[in-house]
Amino acid sequence: MPSLTLDEARDRTDLLTVRRMEVDLDLDRGAEHFGSTTRIHLTASRDGETFVDVAPVTLHRATLDGVELDATSLAERRLPVSLTPGEHVVEVEATMAYSHDGEGLHRASDPADGSDYVYGHMFLDAGPTVFACIDQPDLKAPYVVTARAPQDWVVIGNGRATQDADGLWRLRETQPLATYYVSICAGPYVQVREEHDGISLGMYARASLQAELERHAPEMMAVTRASFDYFHSIFGIHYPFDDYDQVFAPEFNAGAMENPGCVVIRDSYLFRGAASDDEVLTRANTISHEMAHMWFGDLVTLRWWDDLWLNESFAEYMAHRCLVAATGYDQAWVDATVARKAWGYSAERSPSTHPVAGSPAPDAKSALANFDGISYAKGAAVLRQLIAWIGDDAFLEGIRDYLGGHAHGNATLADFLGAMQRASSDELDVAAWSAAWLETSGVDVIAVDRQGTITRTPPQDRPADRPHAMDVATYSDGARTSRVELTLDSPSAQVEGLDLAAPLIIPNAGDLTWATPQLDGTTLDALPGQLPQVTDAQARAVVWVGLRDGAALSLVDPRRLVELGEAALPVEDDDSIFSRIGMHLTNRVIRVLLPEDEQDEARARMAAVGEQVLAEAEPGSSRALHAARLIARTTEDVDGRLRPWADGRGLPSGLEGDQDFRWIVLGQLARRGLLDEAGIDAALAHDRTMTGALGALTARAAIPTPEAKEAAWRELTTSRELSNYELVALAAGFWGPADRDLVLPYVERYFADVPAMSGWIGEDALSRVALMAYPSRIVTPETLRLSRATLERADLPQGVRRSMVDAQSELEEALLSRERFAR
């Protein structure tokens, strides 16, 4: 299937405008198919040949101004159309297929009660699988949508939905929308509603999650209200769309999608059991992030996919800013460091790194390759650098200029830079700043030596001259003994006023810039004794993320991280740091970077940390919850911990009846061969929910027998019935047996079988499966050889290629680390 190219998009923009879209959907035709009739009202500027995008199961009828088009001319989702100057109407009637891979109109069945639910996800180019359209982001148009649905269903969409006497749902006409922002959700959803600042707020969930929705809604509504108030105050434009509905949908691929007036969010955010403080913070961040998109992306939309950052970087930055300023989540920037920036730095280390802005996107599919931690986390960090350079008042003035000047239209990097230049001092060259920060790739290494010299080293293969507005701080026995703010705009400089005798010198301690801090030898040696005493959570987060980078680049022995985790995690009081670093130590450092013969002992040390924290933490606290999860992932105490917890005995306070925690424990028992198919079936009988079904799939894939591995692999790579979530669940359990010989034959099979799945799974879903199923735990030269050979294939799907490139980069890091720090 061809992907729309930039040249093709420009040709269509030059030829036509889309004035109005009318879409009629019939969702009452069973579980596999739905009806779709579309009327595209457009105006052509001249004679020209073009095409309408549509991907039907059956194309029943297509007309141009009432004249039948040749339906047999439809090829590869393109229906040719010949236009003359003036106004036209293209009408297309088709039968479409529901998807199970999270793209288009996804339909999922809830095993808790047998009910079906539908959500629409048109990003990036899935719109034509739902309705005929001119599918490119710069041809925005108002939408009028109707939907016929089963009698017990409700319908939610971009415009307020009302039901006629005959049962037909009509959605109010929208403001101009890009095709990929159109969404419709339908099913027996339950809801809570309230009003705020003239905006009707709704939250929807599956009927089986009604109790969870009602329990969590007050906190989520509070974040929603506070975010609206904050964004109204700084953007100067009231929310520009219809009702603001947030739909917690089953099997949603991403964290959330910012469809105007109909935000779709993964329903795992409606925590069934215990939820930690950092999980609630992450959900709050998601809510605020998607709302920021109502202005950045929805009101003002990128003209082409190479400006994806205009959506994501701004929403990422604004959400964290809003949480700190308006919602009481004052540790949001610490969470951003250990969760989001760590993700972005990992993307920067990969061969697939790219600039924040202006990355070539010759076709729509290639844009997905840049939908990563650089567009999100690095972009947000770069915006903080822009603010440090031009000032916050000028930044906000520029934002208001940008949003007001392009409202309900499209914009480019040049438009943004123009607004910032108008708002800033004439002496400042915003274009030069952009060339240094937005239009270059790579991350600089910042180091401070014991003579007070600070150095800035860009990657050798990606030279750049980036000025850093940042700080350097020193610590001794927990106290900060000095802090200096500076702008580093040269390769090196002398920092005056630092306490150079302090045990810890931490560059970028406030995490004000995008850079990897390289710690000096004295600081590295002092960390186990000193870091646990540092009271500044932001500085601790910076140290940990710097060590992650150092270990990945083979500059720091991964054993140092285990040693520091053993010393610092027992007293770590920031939820995000404890959670994210604990996961990184167990999932990456111990089971990938360390040699196999050292992994059991290192896991035992982490289990001991978990036991210590659990014994000392307040019962039922977030800290106790994280400690219990750490124990469940690492302990070898089968009879004292795993079996009793699986049976519901001796559980920590707050985890009684927590099925999600139970599935973690059951997965560990299955991996050890202590839970068979019958035991998993028995557990599933007590948790017949979507989450329970996923937990059972992961546990089955983890059973360490040849038969179980073969069955799991066959199901993962050949079943066309499994959803996107089910495929990921299988992959999550597959590679973990103690006996690696059980899975070694599947290393080669991965590189043949997973790319072949592109025949029936969408690009976005398959890229996630490819990343999760990659044999990253089999750290051998043979795995690397097979991976490199596969990447030489010309027919590799783009999403799979990007996932393999990133996973292979981490495999190369692990091989180098094991070689460099071999004992």
Active site residues: 290
d(CA 442, CA 334): 22
Query: Which of 554, 575, 552, 533 lies closest to 342, judged by CA?
Result: 552
Taking the CA atoms of 363, 369, 375 and 378 in sequence, report the sign of the dihedral they define.
negative
Task: Give phi and psi for 94, each to the nearest 5.
Answer: -150, 160
d(CA 440, CA 432): 12
User: What DSSP designation does 532 have?
Assistant: G
Q: Which two tokens stand for residue 230?
A: 């904050």
Over its C-alpha atoms, the chain yields an Rg (Å, rounded) of 27
Q: Between helices 706-718 and 745-756, what is the axis angle to 10°? A: 20
Antiparallel, parallel or unpaired: β 444-448 and 515-518: parallel
Measured CA to CA in angstroms, residue 131 lies from 53, 83, 142, 405, 528 at distances of 9, 20, 14, 31, 59
d(CA 365, CA 796): 13
Q: Note whether 401 and 423 are within 8 A (CB).
A: yes
Query: Which of 477, 536, 476, 535 lies closest to 508, judged by CA?
Result: 536
Taking the CA atoms of 747, 752, 757 and 762 in sequence, report the sign of the dihedral they define.
positive
Query: Which of 244, 264, 239 lies closest to 254, judged by CA?
Result: 264
Phi-psi region of 391 (alpha: psi -120 to 50; beta: other; left: phi over 0): left
Query: Which of 116, 705, 708 lies closest to 697, judged by CA?
Result: 708
569-600 as b/e: b if 16+ CB within 10 A: bbebebbbbbbbbbebbbebbbbbbbeeeebe
548-567 as b/e: b if 16+ CB within 10 A: bbbbbebbbbbbbbbebbbb
| Tokens 């089910």 sit on residue | 726
Residue 494 β-bridge partners:
453
Q: Note whether 38 and 114 are within 8 A (CB).
A: no
If you count DSSP H runs as helices and E runs as strands, how many of each does the chain have, helices first? 28, 28
Helix, strand, coil in percent for the chain, rounding step 5 = 50, 20, 30
The residues near 539 (Cβ < 8 Å, ≥ 6 apart) are: 473, 475, 480, 506, 509, 510
The burial class, CB within 10 Å (0-12 / 13-18 / 19+), for 789 is exposed
Q: Which two tokens stand for residue 90?
A: 């293209």
Q: Note whether 353 and 809 are within 8 A (CB).
A: no
Residue 92 β-bridge partners:
38, 62
